[in-house]
Amino acid sequence: MSHSAHRELALEVYSTIRVRPRGAGADEIPMRQPGADTSHYEIYFRMFGDDIHLSMEEFAVMLGLYTPAEVRLPLYTNSIHHLPSDYLRVWWGAISDKPFGKKATKARVSDIRDPLHRYLHRLIAKSVTGRKEGTEHCNLRDLFFVWCLLTHTHTATSRDVL
């Protein structure tokens, strides 16, 4: 495949990829609520002019994140992939001396007491959640993954990363 053909294919996929409810029309792109049950969602995109519809599990296997056997294990199907924001705001007090704030969407990472926990946040923000903005703030999504690491809680990351 030539470089220009590869670029054209990538543009086709990237410009059409959507996470949407199963059976939604091609033009329907409703907003997915964070923490929503992903079993009712699909990944849709066009490739080589064909419409591709994959379940979240099929997409995770296709990307090599999981094997077909792993997406059927309870660790994948029963693991949590979100926590209520009120719970996370209260839990913030376990790692910081300053409150997260009832309506706040982020808090300063410099308020985290333990430097190791700050490093964990930075790794999460730059890899798992893939934030492009600075890492000086911890948002609720980052905080969820910090909570999972510090409490040794399994999470099905591929169910909610998209």
Domain ranges of the chain: 3-66, 85-159
Q: What pLDDT was estimated at residue 135?
A: 78
Top-ranked range on mean pLDDT: pick from 64-73, 90-99, 151-160: 90-99
The percent of residues above 70 in pLDDT, for the chain, comes to 80
18, β-bridge pairs: 44
**Contact yes or no for 140/109 (Cβ under 8 A):** no
At 16, list the tokens: 């059409």
Average model confidence (pLDDT) across the chain? 79
Q: What pLDDT was estimated at residue 128?
A: 74
Q: What pLDDT was estimated at residue 14?
A: 83
Q: What pLDDT was estimated at residue 124?
A: 84
* pTM score over 0.85: no
